[in-house]
Amino acid sequence: MIEAFLVMGGMGAIIGAGLAVASKVFYVYVDPTVEKIDDLLPGANCGGCGMPGCAANAEAIVAGKAAPNSCVAGTDELAQAIAEVMGISIEAKEPDIALPGCTYGVKDAVLKFTYDGLSNCQAAAMMYGGMKECQIGCIGLGSCMAACPFDAIKMGENGLPVVDEVKCTGCGTCERVCPKNIITLSSVTRRILKEYTTDDCTTPCQRACPAGINISEYIHQIAEKNYHQAIQVIKERNPFPTVIGRICPRPCETNCRRQLIDEPVAINFLKRFVADYEMKNNNRVLPFKAPETERRVAIVGGGVEGLSTAFFTARLGHSPTVFEATEDLGGLLRTAIAQYRLPHDILDWDIAGIVEMGVETQTDETLGKDFTIASLLAGDYETVFLAAGGWDSRTERLKDTAPEEAVPGTFLLIDLLKTGADNKYQLNIANNIVMAESGKLTAVAVKTCKALGAKKVTVVFKNSKQTAALDENEIKALEADGVTLIFDATITGLAGKGNNLTGITVNKNTAIKADTLILESGRLPELIFSMPKTENETETEKSKMPADKLEWIAVTSYKNPENGVSNGLLTKGDVITDFSAAIHAIGAGRRAAASIHHILYDMDIELPSHVVTQQTILQDVDHLENVKPSSRLIMPLNNINDIPNISTEVEKGFTEQMAVAEANRCLKCGLICYADQSVNIREAS
């Protein structure tokens, strides 16, 4: 008996020792912060955050791969509690909503294929390529509905998913299971930042629109007489609907598929109709905006681009202020367009709508005279965007006086040549000059700089030495004159301190000392100024930095994807004098706001590789069948004898009956499909 106890005791000791060793060998460390956050999470394990359970989400939050408010089943109080554990603060979370992006499903298909035994969209897409009639449209088997953890999706009568926006938490589960990418998460921020890709079901007119307006959707809303919803759709991408409805060159109509049968839909006249409907009823429709971030942005220039940038920046939740050098906002819209085409009260209506979005404005305030880039950054503004316009917008204001030094140490070639060797305008030409190559005027510009006291001149060429605008003898003459030439290069950034330029960046990573920069364009580039991020300096310390000691950097906003991937100043797609049309300036304003948002949050602004442009090869149609021809309705005009003054418009605008009839001419195009429908045009009077 005693021996048995001794044996058992010995075995226990051995096992205990083994377990003790095992606990050391196989011990798994659990981060106490992860444990605290895991305890706070509801334990629903719904997968709405995109993680396999709450524990995984807790680990992702601590690792910085998920936000404190990433739990879709949690409340704002939960997000705040998690943030306190992390020792950080959070901004209000903007709700994401699942958005079905297709209007064409199985029900509309003329020829239907039914696959026995398949009830899953992914399986059908993988095995058979989906419904044969429309390769892009919804398969309609309801995988998104089955996957939604919050019962927020139902399949509608037309076989397309319908989202309950109250129940939807924006978890993204439906987006992940849809094999056709026709249901995606949508929010104000996502929609503003978005460039359309080949994954999106875009229409030819939408792809042709420089602002990217969802044209087929607002025309559909007009056909249904939902005029306020139509203007809401337009303002998603265009803050000047009443203006653009009068002056747009209408590239969308050139791409309208209706012309394969008869004539394009009167897209722009329809835009004018709903914009006028809003104005005449004095019932302003404001588009959705993200929660306030309290981050202030200064925008220099109160023309179309500057006001558009402010509009989209406000919708992103930030607080923009527009500084305009003249006494009136509107830029060339106010000074260069006859009032019988664009009365000033029409322009003022759209500008008032921009202001109502939360945009502050200050007129008679000139950059370089009343304030500087550094003084704005030393104040309450985190970024400064320059949309000051070109020589054509400042000729009347400046006449024959010296231009303000808007960007420290930066001048246009025209200013340099006009000031001449005697420095008529007293430009501050310093010792180290960097010049963007200016073709045959390069040698003249270099000579002028040296006459004004420049010690070193560097010329940056976009092209190679073999393909430069200067011939070999001209290049040799510059080199013999001591000029440094850099080929195959682009100026991608500026750096400065206070009101002085200190250097430029070439090709993103080569820094060159520079006191003065000369640019060949007719306008200053669209630059975004901010303070460089440093690891050790706190935001409080930055905010207390005096303007003359403050360091800043400047980069360009991302360019129009239509011109390919390009970075830097004066590259392909940059505006050299002014925009060819206001609608292009509106598109540039949205891209500027998106770039500002990325810089504020230290996000990558590189575009996806499959962005859709006019050059993208897409499946298309070259003829239509079974569509009844119907003539485009003509804009009614005022009798010339009935026009009392120069501000009375020549065009009357569509009546409601005309607008609905013209909207019904739309083919409701998808990427490659159009719904099988009879187009009935009602008589218009």
The pLDDT score that the predictor gives to residue 678 is: 43
SS3 630: coil
661 touches 681 (CB < 8 A): yes
Asked whether the predicted pLDDT for residue 4 surpasses 50, the reply is yes
CATH number at residue 45: 1.10.15.40
pLDDT tens by residue, 595-620: 999 999 888 777 778 888 888 888 77
φ, ψ (nearest 5 deg) of residue 239: -80, -5
Claim to verify: residue 645 and residue 664 sit in the same structural domain: yes
Any domain includes 378? no
User: Which has more pLDDT, 54 or 211?
Assistant: 211
Confidence of residue 487 (pLDDT cuts 50, 70, 90): very high
User: Which has more pLDDT, 674 or 682?
Assistant: 674
Asked whether the predicted pLDDT for residue 67 surpasses 80, the reply is no
Rounded distance between C-alpha atoms, residue 437 and residue 615, angstroms: 29
The pLDDT score that the predictor gives to residue 639 is: 82
pLDDT tens by residue, 249-260: 999 999 999 999
Any domain includes 23? yes
Claim to verify: residue 276 and residue 207 sit in the same structural domain: yes
Asked whether the predicted pLDDT for residue 210 surpasses 90, the reply is yes
Claim to verify: residue 203 and residue 283 sit in the same structural domain: yes
Mean pLDDT of all residues in 621-644? 85
Per the rule left: phi > 0, alpha: psi between -120 and 50, beta: everything else, 361 is beta
CATH number at residue 143: 3.30.70.20
What range defines the domain where residue 45 resides? 2-86
SS3 448: helix
Any domain includes 320? no
β-partners of residue 321 are 298, 360
pLDDT tens by residue, 273-321: 999 999 999 999 999 888 899 999 999 999 999 999 999 999 999 999 9
Short-list 681, 685, 631, 635, CA closest to 661: 681
Asked whether the predicted pLDDT for residue 184 surpasses 70, the reply is yes
pLDDT tens by residue, 488-534: 999 999 999 999 999 999 998 899 999 999 998 878 888 999 999 87
Mean pLDDT of all residues in 4-25? 57
Confidence of residue 201 (pLDDT cuts 50, 70, 90): confident
Claim to verify: residue 74 and residue 114 sit in the same structural domain: no
Lowest mean pLDDT among 269-283, 298-312, 580-594, 671-685: 671-685
Claim to verify: residue 63 and residue 101 sit in the same structural domain: no
pLDDT tens by residue, 501-514: 999 999 988 999 99
**Which of 55, 86, 117 is the last residue in one of the domains?**
86
Between β-strands 500-506 and 491-497, what pairing exists: parallel, antiparallel or unpaired?
Answer: antiparallel
**Which of 147, 163, 186 is the last residue in one of the domains?**
186
Cα dihedral value 261, 266, 271, 276, nearest 10: -140
Any domain includes 284? yes
Tokens describing residue 147: 């996957």
468 touches 437 (CB < 8 A): yes
Number of other CB atoms surrounding residue 596 within 10 Å: 27
Any domain includes 665? yes
The pLDDT score that the predictor gives to residue 685 is: 31
User: Which has more pLDDT, 623 or 350?
Assistant: 350
Rounded distance between C-alpha atoms, residue 206 and residue 215, angstroms: 6
Tokens describing residue 321: 């202020």
Mean pLDDT of all residues in 665-678? 64
Tell me the whole-structure pTM to 2 decimals.
0.81
Tokens describing residue 295: 């981050």
SS3 100: strand
Mean pLDDT of all residues in 173-179? 86
Claim to verify: residue 170 and residue 104 sit in the same structural domain: yes
Q: Describe the chain by its helix, strand, coil percentages, rounded to 5.
A: 35, 15, 50
pLDDT tens by residue, 119-155: 777 776 665 544 434 555 788 888 999 988 888 899 9
Short-list 235, 236, 355, 222, CA closest to 277: 222
Using a pLDDT cut of 70, give the percent of the chain over it.
Answer: 82
Mean pLDDT of all residues in 261-280? 97
DSSP 50-94: SSSSHHHHHHHHHTTSS-TT--TTS-HHHHHHHHHHHT---PPPP
Claim to verify: residue 71 and residue 6 sit in the same structural domain: yes
Claim to verify: residue 60 and residue 99 sit in the same structural domain: no
The pLDDT score that the predictor gives to residue 131 is: 40
Asked whether the predicted pLDDT for residue 224 surpasses 90, the reply is yes
pLDDT tens by residue, 80-95: 788 778 766 556 656 6
133 by Cβ neighbours in 10 Å (0-12 / 13-18 / 19+) ranks as middle
Claim to verify: residue 664 and residue 644 sit in the same structural domain: yes
Any domain includes 42? yes
The pLDDT score that the predictor gives to residue 648 is: 82
Q: What is the CA radius of gyration of the chain?
A: 30
SS3 470: coil
The pLDDT score that the predictor gives to residue 682 is: 36
Alpha-carbon 495 to chain mean position = 25
Residue that the structure tokens 């502050």 belong to = 360
Q: Mean pLDDT over all residues of the chain?
A: 84
SS3 598: helix
The pLDDT score that the predictor gives to residue 381 is: 97
Any domain includes 400? no
Claim to verify: residue 108 and residue 181 sit in the same structural domain: yes
Using a pLDDT cut of 90, give the percent of the chain over it.
Answer: 46
For residue 478, the surrounding DSSP H or E stretch is helix 472-480
Any domain includes 216? yes
Confidence of residue 106 (pLDDT cuts 50, 70, 90): low
Claim to verify: residue 623 and residue 661 sit in the same structural domain: yes
Give me the sign of the Cα torsion angle 221, 224, 229, 231.
positive
Short-list 436, 589, 440, CA closest to 521: 436
**Which of 86, 110, 131 is the last residue in one of the domains?**
86
The pLDDT score that the predictor gives to residue 136 is: 59
Rounded distance between C-alpha atoms, residue 322 and residue 300, angstroms: 6
The pLDDT score that the predictor gives to residue 20 is: 56
Asked whether the predicted pLDDT for residue 59 surpasses 90, the reply is no
β-partners of residue 99 are 184
Claim to verify: residue 108 and residue 158 sit in the same structural domain: yes
86 by Cβ neighbours in 10 Å (0-12 / 13-18 / 19+) ranks as middle
CATH number at residue 250: 1.10.1060
Our count of domains for the chain comes to: 3
The pLDDT score that the predictor gives to residue 683 is: 35
Asked whether the predicted pLDDT for residue 354 surpasses 90, the reply is yes
